[in-house]
């Protein structure tokens, strides 16, 4: 039997999604909870990974068990009872036998939250990047439009060139939204490079601060050189918000 879970977690205290020798991966906590329910101690396969300090609201995983000795509608409650408070199963359903959380995903949506005010909102201190200086939203949106489409994003990944394979990715959406003091960068595409979202968000903020003109983004992409692009935004502002399936 194959089961599909949708997870949300606060990544502040974790070393990312993937299982770690330290046991501080979100995957470690989830698999420990599943081992308390299923004698086969199932291993989970995720739709994607998140880095240390990054959060999730819609990460999808699947796993297989020999049998389920409870109604599937009770499964999320049972798993949550064995998880720490900063990780929660939002939804649990039975999946088709052929379903694969990673390979069947057609797109992912990340959101990066920025608090653009002189004083930080203390309720968002672990969920948003505090940028106290005023930002030029029009310039940020102009730069965001350049990121949209199919490009070589080698200049926006922290992965070493020697171990980096194909660095061409497609962004179907790169939007900058504002509501009061809160700015959200919305990124959507079928796949992302290591720290790519944070590199884009950091660069957009630096464009908003006037450190780069919006047109500089095209030259950064063409350079394929990480040193020519902007900074990485802090991990705490990034959330994997949704995974889309066919």
Tokens standing for residue 152: 């070589």
Tell me the HSE value of 44 on the side-chain side, using a 13 A CA sphere. Answer: 28
Tokens standing for residue 60: 């999808």
Closest CA to 196 of 130, 104, 110: 110
**28 assigned to active site:** no
Give the whole-angstrom CA distance, residue 223 versus residue 219: 6
Per the CB < 8 A criterion, the answer to whether 5 and 89 are in contact is yes
Per the CB < 8 A criterion, the answer to whether 128 and 233 are in contact is no
- Residues 6 or more apart whose CB falls under 8 angstroms from that of 141 comprise 175, 176
Q: H or E stretch including 182?
A: strand 182-189
Active-site choice (51, 104, 152, 222): 51
Helices (H), 107-240: 137-147, 196-208, 216-223
The residues assigned a catalytic role are: 51
């Amino acid at each position: 039997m194959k089961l599909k879970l949708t997870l949300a977690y606060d990544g502040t205290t974790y070393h990312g999604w993937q299982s770690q020798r330290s046991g501080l991966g979100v995957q470690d906590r989830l698999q420990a909870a599943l081992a308390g329910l299923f004698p086969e101690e199932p291993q989970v396969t995720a739709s994607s990974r998140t880095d240390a300090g990054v959060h999730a609201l819609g990460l999808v995983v699947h796993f297989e068990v020999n049998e389920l000795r409870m109604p599937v509608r009770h499964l999320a409650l049972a798993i949550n009872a064995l998880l720490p408070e900063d990780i929660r199963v939002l939804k649990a359903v039975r999946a088709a036998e052929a379903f694969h959380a990673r390979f069947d995903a057609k797109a992912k949506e990340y959101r990066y939250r920025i608090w653009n005010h002189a004083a930080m909102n203390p309720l968002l201190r672990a969920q948003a990047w505090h940028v106290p200086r005023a930002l030029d939203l029009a310039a940020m949106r102009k730069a965001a439009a350049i990121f949209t489409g199919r490009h070589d994003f080698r200049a926006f990944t922290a992965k070493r060139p020697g171990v980096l394979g194909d660095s061409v990715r497609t962004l179907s959406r790169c939007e900058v939204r504002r509501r009061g003091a809160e700015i959200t960068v919305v990124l959507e595409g079928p796949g992302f490079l290591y720290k790519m979202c944070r590199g884009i968000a950091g660069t957009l903020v630096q464009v908003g601060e006037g450190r780069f003109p919006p047109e500089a983004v095209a030259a950064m992409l063409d350079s394929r050189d990480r040193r020519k692009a902007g900074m990485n935004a802090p991990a705490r502002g990034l959330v994997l918000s949704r995974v889309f399936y066919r």
